[in-house]
Amino acid sequence: MERSTASPHTLEVPRTARWWSLSPSGNVPVRGTLFVLHGYGQLAEYFIRKFQRQADEGWHIVAPEGGHRFYLKGTSGRVGASWMTKEERLSDIADHVRFLDLVRVQCPFSGSGPQVLLGFSQGVATALRWVAQGQFKPSEWTGLLAHSGVIPPDLSDTDSRFHSAPALQLITGHADPYIQDPELRFQTAESAWKQAGGQPDNVVHHGFEGGHDIDPDTVSRILSTIH
């Protein structure tokens, strides 16, 4: 007897997504907006606190949160979030690109001064896919920071859209356990950037004495050059 085969189906539904913001104090001149995308297993509420220094320096901080929330251990306790998994990967990418577009469109700080995008760890791939597939052209970003993450290989299908992108700032900790060879990682990133249409001489390397975490000194130093 021939057995029936299950068929997959998809359905688009409205859902509630969240993002967090952190603004400069009233006596600090506003310098622009920094969008920050967290890594795997982080929540935007806590990730945004790593950028208090940048807020104190005059930046509005906007931290969207990945739509996949889960318990970090077992079935209770601390919760983390991620942007996607290998399951329904393309649909999840399209969903979070639409979400990120809406955040920038509706964010009251967007358009006020330079607009800078920083991705950390898994958030690097998410950030660059947003630039590649979102409604805002690479030239509409004043700065791109790839902190402790990798450039996704699927950017090679974006028809050289990154040719007009600002310089890609690559940040890597010398003691990052996920990166065995920082120099090789930089070379790989440059190659992936070139395949995506980015200008190969438009990549800047930044190393710091630390592990897999945000380095506020490096971030602030880069932001100080953006106007």
Number of compact structural domains in the chain:
1
Q: Is residue 119 assigned to a domain?
A: yes
H helix count then E strand count, the chain: 6, 9
- Does a structural domain hold residue 11? no
Question: Looking up tokens 């592990």, which residue turns up?
Answer: 211
Asked whether residue 187 is assigned to any structural domain, the reply reads: yes
Residue 103: domain span: 19-223
- Do the domain assignments include residue 2? no
Q: How many alpha carbons fall within 13 Å on the CB side of residue 199? A: 10
pLDDT in tens, 106-158: 999 887 799 999 999 999 999 999 999 999 999 999 999 999 998 888 886 55
In a domain, 1, yes or no: no
pLDDT in tens, 16-66: 999 999 999 888 999 999 999 999 999 999 999 999 999 999 999 999 999
CATH number at residue 77: 3.40.50.1820
Measure the CA–CA gap between 100 and 4, rounded to whole angstroms.
40
Give a yes or no: residue 4 inside a domain: no
CB 28 within 8 A of CB 58: yes
